[in-house]
Amino acid sequence: MSEKPLTASRAEKLKTVCRSAVGDSCRSVTYFDATNYMQVYLRDDLEQDADLMSFIGHEWHDYKTTTDAYAGSELGKYRYSIRVFENGFLVRVGRGDRGVFVTTDGLKLKDFDSLVAAISELFESWE
Provide the residue range defining the domain that includes 71: 8-125
Q: Which residues are bridge partners to 92 per DSSP?
A: 81, 101
Between 109 and 42, name the one with better pLDDT.
42
Helix 8-22 to helix 109-126 angle (10° resolution) is 160
Residue 53 clears pLDDT 80, i.e. is over it: no
Domain-embedded: residue 95: yes
Domain-embedded: residue 106: yes
Q: How many Cβ atoms from other residues are within 10 Å of residue 59's Cβ?
A: 22
Q: How far is residue 50's CA from residue 41's CA, in Å, rounded to a whole number?
A: 13
At residue 12, the pLDDT reads 96
Residue 50 clears pLDDT 90, i.e. is over it: no
Between 127 and 73, name the one with better pLDDT.
73
Domain-embedded: residue 81: yes
The mean pLDDT value for 50-55 works out to 76
Count of domains observed in the chain: 1
Domain-embedded: residue 77: yes
Residue 1 clears pLDDT 60, i.e. is over it: no
CATH number of the domain bearing residue 76: 3.30.450.30
CA distances from 31 to 24, 70, 72, 73, 93 (A): 19, 23, 27, 28, 10
